[in-house]
Structure 1
Amino acid sequence: MAFFSAGDRRMTDSSPARRSSPRRLPSLAALLAALLPLAAVAADGARSTITLPGERAFPEAITSTADGTLYVSSLGNGGIFRARPGESQATLWIAPGTYGTRSTFGVLADEKAGVLWVCSNDISAVIGPHVAGSETGAWLKGFDLTTGQGKVSARFPNERALCNDIALGPDGSVYATNTMAPEILKLSADRKTLAVWATDPRFGPSGKDAGLDGIVFGGDGHVYVNTYTKAELFRVDVKDGKAGAVTPITPSRPLVLPDTLRLIEGTTFWLIEGGGRLDRMTVNGDTATIETIKDGFALPTGITQVGKHLAWVSEGQLDLILDPAKRTSRKPAVPFKLHAVPLGAK
């Protein structure tokens, strides 16, 4: 690629007057900075999208490992899709129904433990008996990141439950949100049971409103969560591993269906809005600055960052399977896709 136009040739002129002029250098630096995210996409095999097979994939979440391998859940089919670096189409890695799973929701790669954590829910009453598996209720499942073999299976103790998203504590403890009740749950040390770790009436659903969704530990050691329909943000103080005060966080603008939260650094996070946006959210005290990075997704559901300059967003189109009116009047755009988002130098 040519970095200089004809008008830029004076920068290479050998005359002293020309050599002393630095005026064009800032524009070159700006150009290079702008090209870094694009170079990241090129290095990733020039993929701008990755497709998911099937007409009922409806991806609900996405996660990745350090080598850039992507793992994607499926609300409509169940199971887990995987896309290795350079692949433009994901393939089915864990078959629907494996280890008792039903519709799969939140996914989180835990490389230190060698586990892919997966939320599994029986939502056949809503979407019909299309998903393999026989377990009822809500479950947190753990699969070996190398083999895909089931390793952990813990049921939500509350019958009114939907396992939505997952977070890892600084000590490796595993937490999950319950969308159907005002609960954050924690997996026991022996990985056999889940117990309520934090509860607050403000977390809960009301009427047709969905409750807790995204969850993440900040660099400050506290937990950050959001509610989906009411679009509220909260911080849960953590001391010695125990939940403390719950504080509302006021965003700089109204949010629309906030979903996945993922840590960037400190108290800056990636935030997916089901309304169509990927945001960078920075929390300062009890307020949050929301910066939209990209808009126009069809009900996005998840975000994962690969390296410094690239993120992948899952486009779920979940309204077309969860909303009865839309389910009968509209068909999803297929194939379902994951979208590459080049990131700036922040």
Structure 2
Amino acid sequence: MRRARWMGLAVAAGLLGAAAPPSPPPPPEIAIPQPRVFPESITATRDGTLIVGSAGNGTIWRARPGDKAATIFIAPDSSGLVSVLGVFADDRHGLLYVCSNGRRSDPTEARDRAAAIRLFDLKSGAPVRNIPTPGASRSLCNDFAVAPDGTAYVAETLRGSIIRVRGDKADVWIADPRLAGADGIAFDDDGQLYVTSVTSGRMFRTGTNADGSARPLVELIPPRKLDRPDGLRHIGRGRFLLAEAGDQGGITLMTVKGDTVTLSPLPGGRTGTTSAVALGKTSWAVAGKLRYRTDPALAGQDPGPFAIYGTPIRAGR
């Protein structure tokens, strides 16, 4: 009788165990093995390599497919980079675009020298070009979009402009008070250029006229206010990955059809995400934890470790 009872309990336990769904695997994560990195931007190459820029110390990090930890690709000691915001891989032309800026605490002369649009060889990391940012330290190079012909467009945050880069020349392509806080910038398949403001949460569309000038800005109204919209990357068919760096932010799958914008948050997005990029069906992102650099209440506190984190590209809540 006792044996039968134990056998019954064992069978019941087995059935319960079989019915329990398997635990989901932990989200993929690639360590950035250095403190106070404050990664602000991420880009990817066609072969799946991820590249991250450090706002904290100017290091450019790289993680190849399968890496568990990123390694230093371009060191600040050799490059002269001080603080890096946007990074953008232009596979077509073999270039890595980098937004170089100075530290706020540095003298104006040092910040002016650091304010530049830097180009590096995408494979070797060798320096290719150093183009002073128009406006020097009164401007802030934040991120890039590159047209098929190699012309680069820069979201410039402080003066509310888009800078155009052709060859070794950079000029202000469009300036408008509505672009104050310009941060995220990306082309779609049709050559339309989208830009978001991290300060106002507004979103605009422009494009290029036949003579190369900018078309008038058109404001697009999302279904909700964007939460400190930061990095913007086009992933095809009118869809974009939008990083929202606010307290309620994360990664948003944004779709634009005409003047209509729809927003679908991705599950697993982290507060303070500053940039995200797509590789296949996975979004790889960085949470810059930039409040530890800007909020006096957090000054000197440990922001904890930094990482590149992955999440599936599918609509969430």
**SS of the residue aligned with 2:204?**
strand
Partner deviation per Cα, 1:311-345 (whole Å, 9 max, x = no partner)? 201111111112222224x32021x0111112249
> Identity percentage over the alignment?
39
C-alpha RMSD over aligned residues: 2.3
- The structure 2 residue matched to 1:313, chosen from 266, 281, 285, is 285
Counterpart code for 1:306: L
1:262 equivalent to 2:241? Answer no
Residue number in structure 2 paired with 1:201: 177
Residue number in structure 1 paired with 2:143: 165
Distance 2:162 2:77 in 1: 25
What's the TM-score, normalizing by structure 1? 0.78
Distance 1:82 1:296 in 2: 21
State whether residues 298 and 316 of structure 1, in contact with CA within 8 Å, keep that contact through their aligned partners in structure 2. Answer: no
Partner deviation per Cα, 1:67-107 (whole Å, 9 max, x = no partner)? 11110000012120011111110011100143332201100
Please give the residue correspondences for 1:331-346 in structure 2 after superposition, counting only pairs within 5 Å.
331-334=302-305, 336-344=306-314
- The structure 2 residue matched to 1:113, chosen from 70, 77, 93, is 93
State whether residues 100 and 134 of structure 1, in contact with CA within 8 Å, keep that contact through their aligned partners in structure 2. Answer: no
Give the superposition deviation at 1:180: 0.7
State whether residues 78 and 97 of structure 1, in contact with CA within 8 Å, keep that contact through their aligned partners in structure 2. Answer: no
Counterpart code for 1:195: D
Distance 1:300 1:64 in 2: 17
1:75 equivalent to 2:55? Answer yes
Give the superposition deviation at 1:116: 0.8
Equivalences, count: 288
Residue number in structure 1 paired with 2:295: 323
**SS of the residue aligned with 1:181?**
coil
Alignment gaps of 5+ in structure 1: 1-5, 7-37, 205-210
1:221 equivalent to 2:191? Answer yes
Distance 1:135 1:78 in 2: 16
Residue number in structure 2 paired with 1:18: none
Residue number in structure 2 paired with 1:304: 277
Give the superposition deviation at 1:63: 0.6
Distance 1:321 1:274 in 2: 14
Residue number in structure 2 paired with 1:178: 156
Residue number in structure 2 paired with 1:20: none
Give the superposition deviation at 1:295: 5.2
1:149 equivalent to 2:126? Answer yes
**SS of the residue aligned with 2:214?**
strand
**SS of the residue aligned with 1:219?**
coil
State whether residues 303 and 312 of structure 1, in contact with CA within 8 Å, keep that contact through their aligned partners in structure 2. Answer: yes
State whether residues 281 and 291 of structure 1, in contact with CA within 8 Å, keep that contact through their aligned partners in structure 2. Answer: yes
Structure-2 change in CA distance of 1:310 and 1:296 (3 Å): closer
State whether residues 170 and 221 of structure 1, in contact with CA within 8 Å, keep that contact through their aligned partners in structure 2. Answer: no
Counterpart code for 2:92: K
- The structure 2 residue matched to 1:96, chosen from 70, 76, 100, is 76
What's the TM-score, normalizing by structure 2? 0.85
State whether residues 117 and 143 of structure 1, in contact with CA within 8 Å, keep that contact through their aligned partners in structure 2. Answer: yes
Counterpart code for 2:139: A
Distance 1:313 1:239 in 2: 33
Counterpart code for 1:123: R
1:136 equivalent to 2:113? Answer yes
Distance 1:316 1:265 in 2: 25
Alignment gaps of 5+ in structure 2: 1-14, 16-23
Partner deviation per Cα, 1:131-151 (whole Å, 9 max, x = no partner)? xx9863421111111211000
Distance 2:229 2:187 in 1: 16
Give the superposition deviation at 1:296: 4.9
**SS of the residue aligned with 2:302?**
coil
State whether residues 183 and 203 of structure 1, in contact with CA within 8 Å, keep that contact through their aligned partners in structure 2. Answer: yes
State whether residues 82 and 114 of structure 2, in contact with CA within 8 Å, keep that contact through their aligned partners in structure 1. Answer: no
Distance 2:260 2:268 in 1: 22
- The structure 1 residue matched to 2:103, chosen from 98, 115, 123, is 123
Structure-2 change in CA distance of 1:136 and 1:322 (3 Å): farther
Deviates more, 1:265-274 or 1:81-90: 265-274
Distance 1:319 1:101 in 2: 21
